[in-house]
A and B are shown apart, each in its own frame.
Chain A
């Protein structure tokens, strides 16, 4: 073998088998973006459970020639592509997350005060307003729906709907949804103060009635009957949610409930985060679209908060026992962060006012409301 041949071989190896000569500026930018999200997750502890795998997914997938998100010569998916294909594209992981969420959720506050369901519906106004706004900016109908659902502040619902309607926007949508969910304590309080008077913030609500175990057990069945009969398109999400809750409340399958709440939830969160992060490759992400999605997502969130509080104001016109309008902001889901924000703001007005359990009602209604909105969109584009 001559020196020329050796040099040619080295050159060939460098060009085709190492990433360095293939590294593009866009990929470097994406790796820096991944550092930013990892920083937010690790140093600031903002939604670390999701932002760590998402950030690491962005980091990994932007290395050139890395066999992660492509297909092999035989057409088989590479590692993270396989997670994405079977988990997200087949719409399995968001439903499993809903199963785990159902197993974690205590519907007691919502059952004790069913009126708060209306707040969950009112808070979805941002979803529909943003939908119109994005259409005006040239998004297609399906893309607009997937961006609009960000305001519902429900990560799995956003991912489910986006994977179904506009998979090309999955990364930015999921990232926007989880980022803004993490920023609920920052986004909501100024709007809450703007829309309420100090007197309204001091309204004390009557203690919720105790809810029997039987009622809690029957709730997932009753809710499934009503919701799935009226919006069949939402059956995968709502069915899993209520199934998880039924396992929790029936008390005879503690092992299954425990697995759904912990082990399974953790596994699917890892797979979901990596898959979503891996969709953010430089050639897809670095465009105007994600920037606009972040802008619209924020606007959406603000309008949803506004919608929830406004709904309480309207309801108070007809109610004998007034509700504290601060619980309206919890109508965006973001469980339980949004309810905690209501509690904190309520206590700022009156340290002896305990709103958290009252705010959990609209908070849970928000989960049902955003899933219903997703179902409406799915039915619309069926």
Chain B
């Protein structure tokens, strides 16, 4: 990351200049302000990050810059200048010209950004054709462009359709198209949010690299502070449509000067914080409603530092030196913000000698698809002890969810698989399980919008669970309903609401309450916080930790966010292509030596703590389940590839230290030594990674 070199850019006008930008949306006949006086400047060649929780107006900024607001939106004040030209003075033709040549945008969902019926080559070439280049030359330029975004076989990719590419490849194509016209400004709106950590890391590296090559200015929008810090020179923190803090990315991250930025950073489970040490801090309250009348300071209602002056007098954008600005009366004391949630954590250590609640042995699940056998889960063995959390990590397609569904009885495992509950075999299909077995295993899904029936009230959802799982009725049910709502800190006054009337965090609390209705022994948490904002995520993680300490429940916790997994897990299982690659205590797995795949996963997490770390890139994509690589399934992408033994012989899952298992030909000592340094380039003679399925 090179900061904008001021000397070379003195002459060039700023790539983007927003002055007091106001945007309003008309909802039910009323104009509701969404952006309220947003001002910032992106110098030529600079990369600027915009961060904030959902509903803060981040994407609206992007659309306003492109003059592509939704039909019910309008710029109601202020000005937008792109490369020195004022948008307000532009006619439609000029706006089109600007979009065609000066500004590009990359959206969150690359699958939706590509036309499914046009071949990739034609789509990329189209950008050049529009710029007036003849079609034949345009195709050549398209090939060049795809090479630049590190697509290894551009000729073959150009002949394909969007659905034939993986998410990471699609996003590369979209970036290629965005940069094809050599824009002054590239807007990236959550470009890696839907991608796996390993793919995300690659895409981010690519963007950094291309930015240096093209000298493009970047507006990077993300809810993920770590990504922003990694990618941006400067950052603006947006809250309720107002810029509350601005400064160099490192400064804002290491020494935030606005209570909101402080709060956001404290919510993150980073730096190895664990549930047995402390609870995460949270941000109380909610974002103001769209277009609501705002108090003098937009953040006063949620701020632990607020005093009388805050609701009377609007804070100015205080200059905190070195390009720092904070819209807070008490910016100098921002770091003294009191915790909103006490740090003290109740915790019951896991009894390692206790009989396991769940024991899974030789767990296999094979799907049949067009004559192919797809082994989604292959020979997985593990135990869950009472009161512990087993974290399950791996890229998408590694079989995490299938494993969970198999355990729950929603999908039946293959013959020969053994699942035991409290030492006795469990029926494979849920329909054959008795009530006690059914209530013993429950799940919290990722997305509460889809997990809660939108037609039912909270009361009906929870009552049904109590009836079916506990056999409750009448007064007893009412009693349990109150207890249940209380245990997940759900306000009983909201019990008659439907899910759509609740915020994301409250909906997830209802989903958790439903899972706990039958006093389960084991709860599977399938990415329970990945659809939530960080402050809400912190509250939910705290709740899960508290429920565990209180009820002694066991969690199987699935997440792609390693910080979250680390916070909650006692032990961690790493899955790749349906196989267990590593299993051990959380801290053992997180500290070297680890399995080479775990090593790669860990190093792809953007580090916000400023600690520079050698990154390990996983090359290529996850191989096809239908045709897994020979020998060790990871050998095609392994950064520590040894030699022929890796593709000839599949390593056993062996106990390398007490309680620490991995599936690798290397021994602990060898990897401990090797992992002191980053791996070299892929060893010569290693088979080329498969780029596509």
A, B: real partners: no
Binding site for A on B (CB under 8 A): none
Binding site for B on A (CB under 8 A): none
